[in-house]
Amino acid sequence: MWWYVMLFSIAALALCFAGLAITILIKKNGKFPETEISRNPHMRKLGIRCAKQDALASCGGCGECSNPAE
C-alpha cells in the first residue's frame, strides 16, 4: 500500500515541476515578476518601500543611528 502513496507523491511532484517548467518556457523572457519590494519598479511607482528602506530614510540614510525616532 505504501508503494501507491510513494508513487502518487512522486507523480504529483513531477507534474508540479513540469508545470513550472512549461510556465517558464511560455512566459515572456522566461522570467517571473520580481516580488522583492526594493527591486520591483511597479511597487516603487506606488511609493511602497520595504521596512529596511523606511528605517534608513527615517535615520537620514546613515544607518548608524540607534533610535530612528530621534
| 40 and 33 Cβ atoms separated by less than 8 Å | yes
Q: How far apart are CA 63 and CA 68, in angstroms?
A: 9
Q: What does the pLDDT read at residue 27? A: 76
Residue bearing the bigger pLDDT, 63 or 46: 46
Q: What is the pLDDT of residues 23-61, one digit of tens each?
A: 878 877 767 667 777 778 888 888 887 877 777 777 766
Question: pLDDT at position 6, please?
Answer: 95
pTM higher than 0.85 for the full model?
no
**Residue 18 confidence (pLDDT) above 70:** yes
